[in-house]
Structure 1
Amino acid sequence: MSLLDRRAVLIAGGAAAAAALTGCGDSKDNAGGTTSPSQTPTTSAPTTTAPSTTAAPSSTAVPSSTAPSTPNTSAPTLTSTPPNWNSFSRSLTGKLYMPSTSGYAAAHQLFNPRWDSVRPTAVVKAANPADVQKAINFARTNKLVLVPKSGGHSYVGASTISNGMQVDVGAIRGMSYSNGVLTVGAGARLYDVHAFLDRYGRSLPTGTCPTVGVAGLTLGGGMGIHTRTYGLTCDRVVSMGVITADGKSHNVSATVEPDLFAALRGSGGGNLGVVTSFRFATIPATKLGFFRLTWPESQAAAVVRGWQKFAQTAPTTSWGNLHIDANSNGTLSIHVLGVSTTGNANAAAAQLESFVGAKASARSITVKSHMEAVKYLGGGTTSPRQGFLAGSDVLKGAMDAATITALIGAVKAAARAKTPASAILDPLGGQAAKQPAGGASWPWRSALGVVQWYSSAQGTNAKTFIANGHRAVRAASAGAYVNYLEAGRVTSSYYGGSSAKLQAAKKKYDPTNFFHAPYTLA
């Protein structure tokens, strides 16, 4: 399986139809920091001795809540005495892992093996929200940095930390369904969520990687094939259970602590608290029509122009992401994987071809059931751990000819250097352009789409490709997607016009900056 997006790896028609749908090598929704759009972001990830200050949770990681406006006065008093790990361990329903504990090596692993050398002081495998509360109180009392983990797909390894505590909510994954609403624990993985909902003929708009955690995806926004028809994953949230920095439990919604509710919908994980559960308004699990269109490299610029017009004018029932992939022989592969939520992809494929101004050199049209589509897009029911480097740019509008040429040139340079690399363009618009009831902090409602820069390599050539990609589209970039975190980006580039409100929420709910890391709100 070819991992072309930290969020989504697609296998289409037996070929790598790459994916920026939702992450595997990505996490189609991550959490994190940023570099301002005017900068040339550094794509190198944090050193394997992660900052002692901590890293923010992954796009698939859990956190994204906040601390109460008034710190809990009954909270434990800070002390300089050594942590009483034995007492803490006995208080948990789940399990505490430390470097001397059997199973520690596997307990702290993330999706990307490049973070295996980062060694937390302790890993808490929480069995329930009470364990999360105890972990937060213990970390606060003992002045430990705490980072949450759900799926662990963060591009920058934000859900692990050297010399700190990792709280893994993966075991909090129970699900129930009633009257169109899914209640789910923050540790649930996307494949399991879709399989559960399929029993009721329902679904959710999500990314595609089967092992991404629902929490990280949702808290950062959540793009996928249903984005234009039903909006982002975070737009479907009805309420959330969250533990704030003072260890208090909250159930937030559009009517209960609405400022925190809106902030959590799109701000990314690890900024305001640890979310332990969600209630989602589901969507129908209908058959989907798929198309895959391929053009020769000579048509690359025409395909980008056509895709942009498709993203701007196609019906909200149509979606298609564009893949420009570097081949090892120095050439480029150009294709669009598209979906029609009406179940008939012929019209959508024909419209895209008309915008391109050239018939595809190869095409396939298929119809798939809900679970057939889930497995097709995710490359199966699970995904192996894989290393990668990735980044993103949010396109504020259609790129001009010079920018398109530069974008294609960045991938072409990678191909000549024999660097496995892809530029994956996901469309926005449609329902995603509308603010959901109750509000959300996801800032890119008016954007055309998101470019994901992805390489399964991890060395200098991969970093060069991503840096070249950022430079290529700088004139058209509004910022970056928080679920595609990169080292070296200033945080404000992920939050755009939502920055001021998020800073206010941070000050109100986490006044002591308990949840702090290189990729979190200050």
Structure 2
Amino acid sequence: MQSRRTILRAGAGLALTAASLEVATGTVFAETTATGWAGLAQQIQGDIVLPADAGYAAAKELQIAEYDAVHPQAIAYPESPRDVQALVNYARTKRISVRIRSGGHNFNGWSTGDGLVIDTSRLNHATVGSSTVRVGPGLQSIDALHALAPYNKQVIAGTCPTVSPGGFISGGGIGYQTRKFGLGSDRLRSAQIVLADGRLIRASATQYSDLFWAIRGGGGGNFGVITEFEVAPIDAPRMVFFSTTWAWDKAEQVFAAWQTWQMNASVNLGSALILNLPDAAPGTVPMVIITGGYHGPESEAQAALAQLTSLIGAQPTSNYVADLPYHEAMKTAYGCGDLTQDQCHREGTGPEAHLHRTAWQRDAYRVFNQPFTPSQLNSLVSTLDADRVAGQRRVLHCMAVGGNSNFTSPTATAFPHREANFVIGYVAQLDAPTPETQAAASAFVGTGAGVLNPLSDGAYVNFPGSSLPDWATQYYGDNYLRLKKVKNAYDPSNFFRHPRSIGSLGE
């Protein structure tokens, strides 16, 4: 089965120039001796990995391998909120910059830097209550699915198995469930957070309500280290997973039909359209894929797919439909249908972990409220296919949103895109990047951004875009000013920061 993981995939090997990184590694204000780190290690239950340690190279890895070029002073693995408090207090006292990491998937590498990386992967619990579920920020989607399945409860998850709530929920949280159940952040009921001053608080609608507003769509790494999310689970015991492919010469017809089909469909339907050029060498034939999940009877899903075929006016080249228990359907959507749960993790993170890292990537994602005209569709598709370069993997990735997620006011949470129907982006990946191939791939993405920008209605902070003018307005719209006030209230010294963190523009 095709999934975002299998399509947006890259192997090992990289070459990196410092100029290619948009990692704001942050200023390290003071040196810290090994003795200092050793003393801190004795205060916490978890571990601290230093550059001299055997496991350092693996500990600093993110999903995208180019950020291996960043060398943190230390990577810490807290195992409790008290551990997080100790780490924050130490870094603040020693004037060391901090980055927060949950799944390590940020496209721009914001979860690493040259100071202290607080990795929350061991805060990975799933506790089922009477009406809510409490999950740790480092609980990967594939593990959440299996942990909650025996209780017949599930949570909103994205389209990658190793994404974690720490970033996913904080930035909004879009997946195949969004149109029916809303955003992941819409289902947040409270969050436990360690603030910049070391306090451990719980934010909700009734306490620290301004902070609670901000962490629902304001993006990760801005306001503190979230150590637990309390969310309302979704009622999804089963899901119909589907994946269909179409001939490339029908790409524009498929795109036009898909947007009409999805905008007029039942909220039970969530899908993605993926135009995939596995290698942009001349003569390579791209693939057109429509995949997703239906939260209802298989008969309704089959009827919806038949309607799609009618709108396209052609038969798919392949068609797979399966009504499965929810966790199995999502596992299949992740491209892990033939893998065990342990295998469905990033290579290097466990003895059986099987999933590849991405070597190098650039992307340009934007949010769109309205469907595209035929001429605009032609421009989008032809841009993907133009000036092909061997060794470049190109994708035009289109996700449907809208539905019930748009029945919330744009100011009710920090996530402002309540009229959005699509999130669409160009992606370029390289398996063995060189300065020349990086430049060519970046140029392709830049051209794609030039096509998308005049048509777009903003950008999604969880798909941050390699280059994005006026990012504060693009991500947050009119909510940015309020986010700055919350930032100033809870982190007036800007302790938690990254290249596009709230308040980093210096206003």
TM-score (norm 2): 0.85
1:104-253 equivalences in 2 (<5 Å): 104-162=56-114, 164-253=115-204
Give the deviation of 1:102 after TM superposition. 3.2
The DSSP-based 3-state class of the residue aligned with 1:161 is: coil
Tell me if the contact between 1:185 and 1:277 (Cα under 8 Å) persists in the aligned partners.
yes
CA distance in 2, matches of 1:494, 1:413: 29
1:286 is the counterpart of 2:237: yes
CA distance in 2, matches of 1:247, 1:175: 24
Select 1:365's aligned residue among 305, 321, 332: 321
The DSSP-based 3-state class of the residue aligned with 1:324 is: strand
5+ residue gaps in structure 2?
A: 11-16, 337-343, 346-354
CA distance in 1, matches of 2:147, 2:387: 41
**Greater alpha carbon shift after TM alignment, 231-240 vs 327-336:** 327-336
CA distance in 1, matches of 2:460, 2:497: 19
1:427 is the counterpart of 2:400: yes
Give the deviation of 1:449 after TM superposition. 0.6
Q: 1:298-318 deviations in whole A, cap 9, x for unaligned?
A: 222222111121232111011
Q: 1:110-167 deviations in whole A, cap 9, x for unaligned?
A: 12221112111111111111111111111111111101111111111111102x1111
Which one has a larger percent helix, Structure 1 or Structure 2? 2
Aligned equivalent of 1:397 = 370
Provide runs of 4+ in structure 1 moved above 4 Å: 44-50, 78-83, 414-418
CA distance in 1, matches of 2:358, 2:238: 31
CA distance in 2, matches of 1:175, 1:267: 23
Q: 1:349-374 deviations in whole A, cap 9, x for unaligned?
A: 12222333444343333222222212
CA distance in 1, matches of 2:89, 2:138: 20
Select 2:290's aligned residue among 329, 336, 351: 336
Tell me if the contact between 2:23 and 2:499 (Cα under 8 Å) persists in the aligned partners.
no
Aligned equivalent of 1:505 = 486
Tell me if the contact between 1:235 and 1:436 (Cα under 8 Å) persists in the aligned partners.
no
Specify whether residues 354 and 132 from structure 1 end up closer, same or farther in structure 2 by C-alpha distance, changes over 3 A only. same
Specify whether residues 250 and 298 from structure 1 end up closer, same or farther in structure 2 by C-alpha distance, changes over 3 A only. same
Q: 1:240-267 deviations in whole A, cap 9, x for unaligned?
A: 0001111111101111111111110111
Residue identity in the other structure for 1:367: D
Give the deviation of 1:324 after TM superposition. 0.9
Aligned equivalent of 1:491 = 471
Q: How many residues align?
A: 466
1:406 is the counterpart of 2:379: yes
Aligned equivalent of 1:482 = 461
Q: 1:196-233 deviations in whole A, cap 9, x for unaligned?
A: 11011111121132221121111111111111110111
RMSD: 2.6
Tell me if the contact between 2:409 and 2:418 (Cα under 8 Å) persists in the aligned partners.
no
CA distance in 2, matches of 1:498, 1:414: 39
Residue identity in the other structure for 2:38: N
Select 1:473's aligned residue among 414, 429, 452: 452
The DSSP-based 3-state class of the residue aligned with 1:470 is: helix
Give the deviation of 1:494 after TM superposition. 1.7
**Greater alpha carbon shift after TM alignment, 274-283 vs 405-414:** 405-414
Select 2:37's aligned residue among 82, 85, 98: 85
The DSSP-based 3-state class of the residue aligned with 1:336 is: strand
**Structure 1 vs Structure 2: percent identity of aligned residues?**
29
Q: 1:490-509 deviations in whole A, cap 9, x for unaligned?
A: 43122223212211211211
Aligned equivalent of 1:322 = 273
TM-score (norm 1): 0.83
**Greater alpha carbon shift after TM alignment, 289-298 vs 80-89:** 80-89
Specify whether residues 325 and 415 from structure 1 end up closer, same or farther in structure 2 by C-alpha distance, changes over 3 A only. farther
5+ residue gaps in structure 1?
A: 11-17, 26-43, 56-77
Aligned equivalent of 2:259 = 308
Aligned equivalent of 1:384 = 356
**Greater alpha carbon shift after TM alignment, 270-279 vs 392-401:** 392-401
Specify whether residues 52 and 378 from structure 1 end up closer, same or farther in structure 2 by C-alpha distance, changes over 3 A only. closer
The DSSP-based 3-state class of the residue aligned with 2:457 is: strand
Give the deviation of 1:268 after TM superposition. 1.1
Specify whether residues 221 and 506 from structure 1 end up closer, same or farther in structure 2 by C-alpha distance, changes over 3 A only. same
1:38-57 equivalences in 2 (<5 Å): 47=20, 50-53=23-26
CA distance in 2, matches of 1:114, 1:416: 20
Q: 1:439-481 deviations in whole A, cap 9, x for unaligned?
A: 3211211012101322331522321222122112222212221
Q: 1:20-79 deviations in whole A, cap 9, x for unaligned?
A: xxxx88xxxxxxxxxxxxxxxxxx996569444269xxxxxxxxxxxxxxxxxxxxxx99
Aligned equivalent of 2:351 = none
